[in-house]
Amino acid sequence: ARGVLCADHHKGYSMPIGGVLASQSVVMPAGVGYDIACGNCAVRTDMHATDINVPIVMDDIWKIISFGVGRSNAERVDHPVFDAIAATHIPEVRGLIDLARNQLGTVGSGNHYVDLFEDRADGRLWVGVHFGSRGFGHKVASGFLARAAGKAWGERTDDSMDAPPTTIPLGTALAQDYLASMTLAGEYAYAGRDWVVDRVLRILGARPEWRVHNHHNFAWSETHGGEQWLVVRKGATPAFPGQTGFVGGSMGDDAVIVEGVDSPTSREAFYSTVHGAGRVMGRMEAKGKWKKGECVRPGKIDWPAALADLKTKNIVLRGGGADEAPGCYKRLAEVLAYHGDTIKVLHTLRPIGVAMAGADTFDPYKD
């Protein structure tokens, strides 16, 4: 096996977020993570940022799009992915169809968001989103982690950050079932991000001109050095030569559209790059510990000061909290610099509107 650690790395469940594992013998469900197919989608619109009233648009986004744990979409969504879920030969996955139907088009919480951006080069308005396969993917991951540990679907496994890695030998029925279910969760995540972006475009009255869409929690069968590998990326964006990706910073930092470049380092990294800026502190460390409305242990983030700073940058925030403040993250430009000649930045996007669930409603999903 081969391993890669990207510059946005930080501690994750069983495997670092920002990590890549390439194997010819096993798949590691914890490497993909609980939020299977978490990823980013960005769309350049036919509008300019100055064409819109950002506070009003953000109010509409906050009212129409569902943010938070366990939320359902108030709008009925039909998509072919539901037929695929209903047709799978794995009964436990088929049993998740109602959950999947209800949650498609919801964003969740934690570091998952819907953002509006202004292109620093030409002022063009972009829409960007970050989330994955929601409760459907979480239950698929949990079920297969249990089976890989020799337990029944639904039984609890060690979900601590220091849990030892559990792997499944490739070629076994369990590995095939996991990879098939993971692929379904990937299709579901793509559908959800597309729906949310398209719904925001309807709010804006805008048309899409260019869409950049990637998973960063997934396992792909790829050819490297003339050999076949199963490449697991956990919080790492695929960046093959010419492939574009959307990488977010923090709610107060620029995001970028990048393109993979061929180089010796790129090949060494299995054509992988960062998925974000990377955390520098945990959620509890950032916001402190609260019990019955009282602060038991103060956090390191001064949230009122962070809000004031966002205001000076003309960033309109809906939701959010101290656990997602800019101070919780590295600076994206500094992180990208470590990836040198593996990528090039095509567009730099300044956030003008950010919507994410509050600190008291973050998901248990581990990116």
For 304-332, write each residue's pLDDT tens digit: 999 999 999 999 999 999 999 999 999 99
Structure tokens at 246: 């959307």
Task: Please provide residue 243's backbone torsions phi and psi, each rounded to the nearest 5 degrees.
Answer: -80, 135
DSSP letter for 153, please.
T
Per-residue confidence (pLDDT) for residue 358, from 0 to 100? 63
For residues 187 and 181, the answer to whether their CB atoms sit within 8 Å is no
Q: Estimate the share of the chain in helix, then strand, then coil, as percent rounded to the nearest 5.
A: 35, 30, 35
Biggest alpha carbon–alpha carbon distance for the chain: 59
Q: Model confidence over 207-256: pLDDT tens digits? A: 999 999 999 999 999 999 999 999 999 999 999 999 999 999 999 999 99
**Tokens coding 345:** 């930045």
Separation between Cα atoms, residue 27 and residue 8, nearest integer Å: 23
The proportion of the chain whose per-residue pLDDT surpasses 70, expressed as a percent, equals 97
87 burial via Cβ count (<10 Å: 0-12, 13-18, 19+)? exposed
Query: Please, which residues have CB within 8 angstroms of residue 112's CB and are 6 or more apart in sequence?
Result: 38, 67, 130, 131, 132, 356, 357, 363
Tokens for 254, please give them. Answer: 């620029």
The 3-state DSSP class for residue 347 equals strand
pLDDT tens string, the chain, 367 residues long: the values are 899 999 999 999 999 999 999 999 999 999 999 999 999 999 999 999 999 999 999 999 999 999 987 888 889 899 999 999 999 999 999 999 999 999 999 998 889 999 999 999 999 999 999 999 999 999 999 999 999 999 999 999 988 889 988 999 999 999 999 999 999 999 999 999 999 999 999 999 999 999 999 999 999 999 999 999 999 999 999 999 999 999 999 999 999 999 999 999 999 999 999 999 999 998 889 999 878 778 888 999 999 999 999 999 999 999 999 999 999 999 999 999 999 999 999 999 999 999 998 644 433 333 3
